[in-house]
Every structure is written in C-alpha cells, then in structure tokens.
C-alpha cells in the first residue's frame, strides 16, 4: 500500500509555544488530507480536511486559529498547534487519500504531543 509519513512521532513542548507536525505522502499524490485527534482509549475525531492549494475545512468545534493547517503541495500537509496548552496534549494522526484510489485513505503513524 501507499506510505504516509508523519513527523515527528513524539514531541514535548512548553505551554505557549507552537508545534508543527508534518504529513507526507511518499509515493503518491494526495489531493486531500485529513487530520484527526485521538484521545486515550477513544476513537478518532476528525479535525479538518485539507485540499492542496486551498483553505482547510474545519469540523465544528475545532478552532482554526489554534490548529493551523497548510496543504501547500500534493505530498505535504502540516498541522501547527499554536500557543499550545496542556489540554492540547493528544495523539494526532493524518491521513491522505490517493486521488487514484477509490475510497481508501492511508494513515500516518501518528504524533504524540505532550504540552508541559
């Protein structure tokens, strides 16, 4: 299957700082990428959908000014958590949809963010 690389896998940051998470499709072009947040022992909550070259579409209740998403190319999307607080600590997962595949999204390995 196609490979999605997410970096970093773990990050610890101080309250008030910003953290950037990268999501790359390594061997396919992803016109659409999705960002999820997963709380401990919980399911995935979709945060936003990003399309290459356009603004991301955020789900209801997700602060777009806090979670900045950029999808500048067909192989890269970034999520920046701005002015992080401890309650932002979570597991963040991206997925990318190969525009040549019907229905299948490939997932990155996730990023464990801890804000101290």
Residues in touch with other proteins (CB under 8 A): 1, 4, 6, 9, 32, 34, 41-44, 46, 49, 51, 57, 91, 93, 95, 102-110, 112
Cβ proximity to other proteins: between 49 and 80 the closer is 49
Minimum distance from CB of 16 to other proteins (Å)? 26
Angle at 47 between CA 45 and CA 60, to 5 degrees: 95
Q: Measured between alpha carbons, how far is 41 from 102 in angstroms, rounded to an integer?
A: 29
The tokens for 116 are: 């101290």
Contact present, 99 and 33 (Cβ < 8 Å) = no
Contact present, 31 and 100 (Cβ < 8 Å) = no
Cβ proximity to other proteins: between 20 and 110 the closer is 110
Q: Measured between alpha carbons, how far is 77 from 1 in angstroms, rounded to an integer?
A: 19
Minimum distance from CB of 94 to other proteins (Å)? 8
Minimum distance from CB of 108 to other proteins (Å)? 5
Minimum distance from CB of 35 to other proteins (Å)? 11
Cβ proximity to other proteins: between 62 and 110 the closer is 110
Cβ proximity to other proteins: between 14 and 41 the closer is 41
Contact present, 113 and 88 (Cβ < 8 Å) = yes
């Amino acid at each position: 299957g196609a490979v999605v690389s997410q970096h970093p896998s773990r990050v610890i940051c101080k309250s008030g700082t910003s953290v950037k998470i990268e999501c790359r499709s390594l061997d396919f072009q992803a016109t659409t990428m999705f960002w999820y947040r997963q709380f401990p022992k919980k399911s995935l909550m979709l945060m936003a959908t990003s399309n290459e070259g356009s603004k991301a579409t955020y789900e209801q209740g997700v602060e777009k000014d806090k979670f900045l998403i950029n999808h500048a190319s067909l192989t890269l999307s970034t999520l920046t958590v701005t002015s992080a607080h401890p309650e932002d600590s979570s597991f963040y997962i991206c997925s990318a949809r190969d525009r040549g595949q019907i229905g299948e999204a490939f997932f990155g390995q996730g990023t464990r963010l801890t804000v101290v």
